[in-house]
Amino acid sequence: MRHVLKTILAIAPLLPACGDSAQGKDPTDTGGPTGIDSLSTAGGSETSTDATASGGASEAGTITEGGSEGSATAVTVTTTEPPTTTATTGPDDTTTSTSTSTTFPMTSTSLPNTTGFEPPECDPVMKATIRDFRVDHPDFEDFGGDAAYTGLVEEDLGPDNKPVYAHDGATPQTAGPDQFAQWYNDTPDVNMAFEIDIPLTEVSPGQFTYQNNAFFPIDDQGWGNEGNPHNFHFTTEIHTEFTYQGGEVFTFTGDDDLWLFINGKLAIDLGGLHPQLTDTIDLDENAAYLGITVGQNYSMDIFHAERHTTESNFRIDTSIQCFVIPG
């Protein structure tokens, strides 16, 4: 177009010339993590008090919630530089299948490349390992209290890419380190492993969701349902990677235990047996704590446990647009 315009100008020097204008905006830094968690319930009330842990996890706050799983008590532990998260009870949604009501074309395979490296190929499907346990395992069905109990695992992921148990012995939610070590490791005569897919659907431009309010991926498999309508006793393990583009958030909603690690750092801590709860990590606000830089690839490791009847909820909402299976 500019070559044509130059020709016209050469022929008609009295014609006015045209130019382009551009506007830009500098990003602003939101600062480091504040280390403040908040919990609220839908239609309920909450009173929270910060606490400093001494030799173990501490409890703070009260959640009032209806339903068969009773009330949930949020329990928090202060760490050196915990991530800034916002936690609430899960949305009141009675659907029992993966949400696919509105689907948009996947756009994550053509992310803008402004950092000088080639983005990895994206996949909207997370690969998960499910391990089935018997109902009489010491960590399953025996514990109760409907409590979100933080501080069960260390802030840093272990060298084997597994969560590190943070206590020498039992806690109000676990039998001890030996039993916990079986949760995410194949153990003969204790658990059975299965591979499943967890597909993320783009429900609106740049927003991806997996929702299942009846998350029972191994019904009638492994040790079986053991007299229950579903197989309620299993763990979920996911390892993936993503490209940090800036502005992303990740939200998990469900029960029971859930730990999310980003770049090996604990980003969401919803340990213990509890009703459906939600927690969110804002990657920009916690970039310093997580040690992440825009334009680079980082690991994401998710560890979940379903340990008690009578519900199993599992939901992911995120604006992270590119997940890849680690090579």
pLDDT tens-digit readout, 160-197? 999 999 999 999 999 999 999 999 999 999 999 999 99
- Confidence class of residue 148 from pLDDT cuts 50, 70 and 90? confident
> Measuring CA to CA, how many Å separate 254 from each of 3, 159, 219, 235, 298?
60, 27, 18, 13, 24
The partner residues of 303 in beta bridges, in order of sequence, read 237, 259
Query: Residues 188-218: pLDDT tens digits?
Result: 999 999 999 999 999 999 999 999 999 999 9
Nearest Cα neighbor of 79 from 266, 282, 313 is: 266
Nearest Cα neighbor of 137 from 185, 179, 74 is: 179
pLDDT at position 303 over 60: yes
pLDDT at position 259 over 80: yes
Q: Which domains does the chain have, with CATH numbers?
A: 93-143+170-324 (2.60.120)
3-state secondary structure of 110: helix
pLDDT at position 156 over 70: yes
DSSP, residue by residue, 166-206: --SS-BTTBS-HHHHTTTTS--TTTEEEEEEEEE-EEEETT
Mean pLDDT of all residues belonging to the chain = 74
d(CA 104, CA 207): 10
Helix (H) or strand (E) holding 7: helix 2-11
- Confidence class of residue 121 from pLDDT cuts 50, 70 and 90? confident
Q: Higher pLDDT residue, 137 or 38?
A: 137
3-state secondary structure of 290: helix
Query: Residues 45-61: pLDDT tens digits?
Result: 333 333 333 334 433 33
d(CA 143, CA 271): 13
> Measuring CA to CA, how many Å separate 93 from each of 184, 283, 299?
29, 26, 30
Give the per-residue pLDDT at 166: 98
Burial 182-217 (b: 16+ CB within 10 A, else e): bbbeeeeebbbbeeeebebbbbeeeebbbbbbebbb
- Confidence class of residue 87 from pLDDT cuts 50, 70 and 90? very low
Give the per-residue pLDDT at 322: 82
- Confidence class of residue 124 from pLDDT cuts 50, 70 and 90? confident
Nearest Cα neighbor of 320 from 88, 123, 103, 28 is: 123
pTM, 2 dp: 0.67
